Structure 1
Amino acid sequence: MTSMTELSYASGTSAKPLLGDTIGANFDRTAAAFADREALVERATGRRWTYDQLAAEVDAVALGLLDLGVGKGDRVGIWAPNCAEWMFVQYATAKIGAVLVTINPAYRVHELEFVLNQAGIRTLVAAPAFKTSDYAAMIEQVRPRCAALEDVVLLGGGSWDALLEAGRAGDPGRLAGIGATLTADDPINIQYTSGTTGFPKGATLSHHNILNNGFFVGEGCGYDQEDRICVPVPFYHCFGMVMGNLAATSHGACVVIPAPAFDPRATLEAVAAERCTSLYGVPTMFIAELNDPSFAEHDLSSLRTGIMAGSPCPVEVMKQVIERMGMAEVTICYGMTETSPVSTQTRADDSLDRRVSTVGTVHPHLEVKIVDPETGVTVPRGTPGEFCTRGYSVMLGYWEQPDKTAEVIDAARWMHTGDLAVMDADGYVNITGRIKDMVIRGGENIYPREIEEFLYTHPDIVDAQVIGVPDARYGEELMAWVRLREGAGPLTAEGLREFCAGRLAHYKIPRYVHVVDEFPMTVTGKIRKVQMRAEAVDILGLHDAAKQRHA
């Protein structure tokens, strides 16, 4: 009989208790304790805020939103690249109990419309434009079809100025009164994850979920008020707004925004100029920084720690980050949006081998187990199975989709991640694959089903299967296998890209196209994506990328 100690189960202990307060209360306490310390630096504009100044901006935005009629439980969308205002809105909504809906800056019209309607967004704060995206025009296009949407506030424009003006003229005493009515278990954030059914699902997270996860990620990095965290990862995702912003403000540390969107040189310049002690990124970002022609010109000697996450971390890249960037205490985190996000993290005192070849051990106050996907029984250590986690970090559920929630959170409140993992004798976890077909491209979670359904709208495509194939830069890239209607002309990758451009977010557009007469099938008629992935490596000559070792 297998003893408990040999099972793939672990629970995280800590001398520090969970935080029981709301994000607003926690932030106010930090702002009072570290009033004169720098809290936020925006490199693109040169603007800086101390904690005292940041608190004043947050309160002004909170009172401005109240002036618009936004109340507890109302959904407020934010659609913008990384900027200081994004952070103001994050904390302002938390202070008044509104639910912040974070919208991917890469979304196009049909994705925006879906999220606005599914979440019932009442007020949308957006950048007027970014890169080639005219956000204002897209919003006007969908607005007539979004019944709940009452107010659109464009950053840098008259509507944003009016909101701030109203807020600065408001009574700050109102915020204390509202704060007293909020609880840590209130929903505070909806983050959309690509959906297997062709539409995204809104993971609904509470103060308790994300404040504690940010705090304990910060504990894992050893943060205090002396730390300066360079955050080039997007705020719309947990990596930026939880592991970045909330980890910082729960420790009195400073957030440095190197650029509105990731730019390797701007990131290196920010670390050097601001003497950052911590740097975040998905592996793709670190690869780009290490390979930037100007790398040697930047003094990175202030770096101590940081986080690599969001995608399988190549072992060689991790070694270079430690050796060439001086991030001796860099950690790897593993998690998912639905778990706020982090479930495991490597520690600064782990051996180099552990830190480059595993995703660490269970986080404080959480439980993890690895189960047989068929039976749900916990497997012995060293045996692969599905990674499950339970505890304060598990989302409240998918917004207004109890059926979808029930598919991933069982009766005992275990979150079933769909990831295959192995736990060793000491409790260290390796992620070995995915039960579902989700593709992780440069930290973006992509569900093939959503893209397949879209490809069916192409006039020449009668059937489509999308798979992830190895890629040295992004970890994985998308490849579409398609069957064409009889008499259709040739379909190239470039032609398919043109069809998708402007209709699918850029990261969801397949890089490779392979036209077939039929797909590999099992005897029961199921598509064999495993075989397709293996064949794709040969077809595309991706043997070197496929050999890369990951944690």
Structure 2
Amino acid sequence: MRSILVSRRFAHVLTSTHAAPSTSNIPTTDSHHLTHPSVHRQHTNSYIHGTSNIPLRNETLGQTLRNTTERVPDKEFCVFSKYPIRKTYEEFYHDVRQMAASLYTLGLEKGDRVGVWGPNYYEWVVLQYACAFAGVIQVNVNPHYLHEELRFVMRKTGMKVLFAPKRHKHSNYVHTMLEAMPEMRRGQPGVGHIKSHDIPELRHIVLYGDDVPVHGAWVYSDLIHAAGSAERAKLEDMDRKLRPDEPVNMQFTSGTTGHPKGATLTHFGLNNNAYFAGIRLGWDREDHRICIPNPLYHCFGCAVGVINAVNHGQTVVFPSKSYHVPDIFEAIQNEKCTTMFGTPTMFIDVLKSPLMKQFDISSLRGGVIGGAPCPMALCEKMVKEMRMTDFSVIYGSTETSPLVTMSELHVDPFERIKSVGSVMPHQELAIVDEFGVPVPTGAKGELWSRGYSTMLGYWADHDKTNLAITRDRWYKSGDTATMNEDGTINIVGRTRDMIVKGGENVYPTEIEQFLHKLDYVADAHVVGVPDDRYGENICAWVRLRVEDEGKITAEHIKKACKRGMAHYKVPKYVLIKKESEFPLTISGKVKKFEIQKISKELLGLGTVKSHFTEAVDN
């Protein structure tokens, strides 16, 4: 989901008659008693409160899984099409409890951090709930990270254990780990004890995917059976002590200063946000089989998908370990999926594919689209060509667990696509000016949200937490929005320069800092430009050192980026420019807006609309 850049603007607090929820005293009931979920808003300004007669659930993730398993033990919980693996709720619950107890054999204690790295494996979902039961905090590690990014996240979190597959497609995870932790080479095959000089708190590495031992790493299939009576007793004790308000998951957003930030989320926030998303989708009333091509390390996959399904006893289908259009069609046809998740890029690819005419996707009747701004024309095609009349547009941030708005299915689908929906139950939204004061209805401002699902904060980063969240717990999204008369929300741009490329958040500063490390680069500036498939893509203006002019090409620079950064951060366009070609302000600062405008003209992108541009025009 969206990982929003922290605001650095003057932060006057937004006044409200509603008490601000604290991280230690999150409300568990709604004071309004209405027949149906509804909203309350002041018509003179852009403020809205999502009221509901459905109370919040005061449960941990593990308690909810246990309750659902007792209710529908034999129902199929998950299908991983390419393993192939199928598990009922009872089978999944058994695997989760086995692994949760086995985590204690690694010396883990309550609150320790456990990294889960890699694409969509069954083991990933088992670990998601095993960590929840064991009282440790799962750290979602981006599967595209290279060794410097991996090392930073491990050091930042004080990670004790890292789980990962050996390799997937072009990613050799063992090789990357060896670059980050060369001490692995000295380990025995199948023995995962590690003492790393650069990552001193790391104690264990565990590999999954096959049973062939690797130097310096435990084998997952051995570990899951390692628990004895002492560990099982410790797990039973944790069942009695664990509270819903405690942290359970950490997801890293791209950093505004070159370093990512770890949004720390609770059982309570994730569980309730997913629960109400499912109610809005009608999952509490009928059975669904949900096709999820989205990555599990994002909130979209692991929260709106998996945790939502667990709350409502639904079945999740993962077409493949990573995004692959033909596998999506196979999964929908073979598993009779009724709902498909996806970013706008994913739906664009599916609709353009010739496979649309070769596969039977008639079982689809709904879907969820989000992770990036959604073009209205795309949503119309989803309804007309894929017959997904029960689809919902979602909007939120990793920092809000993640959803703050969502479409309501009782609204006509062609009206539904005109916005990102209405406020979620038990949450508040406001569109504010630069002083934090709500703007009139229909006027543009920054979207702020407040409620039970707001993160505890950025891990070990008090200053950035205070920049993102006001003293009375309003989260500042960094997105420019408007509120319509009916309370629905339109996202029309961003207050700062983050690029959203196919659902991945990319901060120009992070790429610029990498480019400046290259010996031949004198200066570099990065902007977003429109892209038909991804919505936005990355364009870098680079000034070379005088002695390297004529020697270094754009391809040299792209290759260097591919070696040093996750692939989604690599610029699609590199324009080599002289110093005199950079547009400057009177004070000598580079005008990024002008660079963006010039780049669109130079690259012939004048007629290509970004998703934000389309939102403004409509």
Q: Distance in 2 between matches of 1:185 and 1:31?
A: 22
Q: Deviations over 1:281-330 (max 9, x none)?
A: 00111111111221112221221211110111111111111111121111
Q: CA deviation at 1:355?
A: 2.1
Q: CA deviation at 1:181?
A: 0.8
Q: Which amino acid counterpart does residue 484 of structure 1 have in structure 2?
A: L
Q: CA deviation at 1:251?
A: 0.3
Q: CA deviation at 1:140?
A: 2.5
Q: Which amino acid counterpart does residue 179 of structure 1 have in structure 2?
A: D
The answer for the alignment partner of 2:47 in structure 1 is 9
**Which residue among 449, 452, 470 is the counterpart of 2:530?**
470
1:415 partnered with 2:495: no
Q: Deviations over 1:429-484 (max 9, x none)?
A: 11111111100000000111011000001122111110000000000000001222
The answer for the alignment partner of 2:507 in structure 1 is 447
Contact 2:531 2:610 in 1 (8 A): no
1:60 partnered with 2:61: no
The answer for the alignment partner of 2:23 in structure 1 is none
1:230 partnered with 2:291: yes
RCO comparison, higher one (Cα < 8 Å, 6+) = 2
Segments of 5+ residues of structure 2 without an aligned counterpart are: 1-40, 182-195, 214-218
Deviates more, 1:348-357 or 1:24-33: 348-357
1:96 partnered with 2:134: yes
**Which residue among 193, 199, 202 is the counterpart of 1:146?**
199
1:261 partnered with 2:299: no
Q: CA deviation at 1:172?
A: 4.4
SS at match of 2:496: coil
Residues 270 and 434 of structure 1, relative CA distance in 2, 3 Å threshold: same
The answer for the alignment partner of 1:429 in structure 2 is 489
Q: Distance in 1 between matches of 2:553 and 2:484?
A: 45
The 5 A counterparts of 1:90-489 are 90-143=128-181, 144=196, 145-155=198-208, 156-157=210-211, 158=213, 159-167=219-227, 172-224=232-284, 226-372=287-433, 374-489=434-549
SS at match of 1:527: coil
Q: Distance in 1 between matches of 2:278 and 2:370?
A: 14
TM-score (norm 1): 0.97
Q: CA deviation at 1:255?
A: 0.9
SS at match of 1:250: helix
Deviates more, 1:91-100 or 1:173-182: 173-182
The answer for the alignment partner of 2:78 in structure 1 is 40
Q: CA deviation at 1:349?
A: 2.0
Residues 377 and 217 of structure 1, relative CA distance in 2, 3 Å threshold: same
Residues 492 and 216 of structure 1, relative CA distance in 2, 3 Å threshold: farther
Q: Distance in 2 between matches of 1:125 and 1:75?
A: 11
Q: CA deviation at 1:547?
A: 6.8
SS at match of 2:390: coil
Contact 2:532 2:610 in 1 (8 A): no
What is the CA RMSD across the aligned residues, in angstroms? Answer: 1.6
Q: Distance in 1 between matches of 2:239 and 2:590?
A: 53
Q: Distance in 1 between matches of 2:274 and 2:156?
A: 27
Q: Distance in 2 between matches of 1:467 and 1:65?
A: 44
Q: Distance in 2 between matches of 1:111 and 1:536?
A: 29
Contact 1:59 1:167 in 2 (8 A): no
The answer for the alignment partner of 1:541 in structure 2 is 604
Q: CA deviation at 1:389?
A: 0.3
Count of matched residue pairs: 548
SS at match of 1:117: helix
The 5 A counterparts of 1:21-32 are 21-32=59-70
Q: Distance in 2 between matches of 1:27 and 1:244?
A: 14
Q: Distance in 1 between matches of 2:80 and 2:232?
A: 26
SS at match of 2:525: strand
Contact 1:346 1:354 in 2 (8 A): no
Q: CA deviation at 1:47?
A: 1.3
Q: Which amino acid counterpart does residue 52 of structure 1 have in structure 2?
A: E
Deviates more, 1:204-213 or 1:512-521: 512-521
Q: Distance in 2 between matches of 1:441 and 1:49?
A: 34
Contact 2:299 2:398 in 1 (8 A): yes
Q: Distance in 1 between matches of 2:143 and 2:610?
A: 33
Q: Distance in 1 between matches of 2:230 and 2:351?
A: 48
Q: CA deviation at 1:527?
A: 2.8
Contact 1:195 1:201 in 2 (8 A): yes
Percent identity for Structure 1 against Structure 2: 41
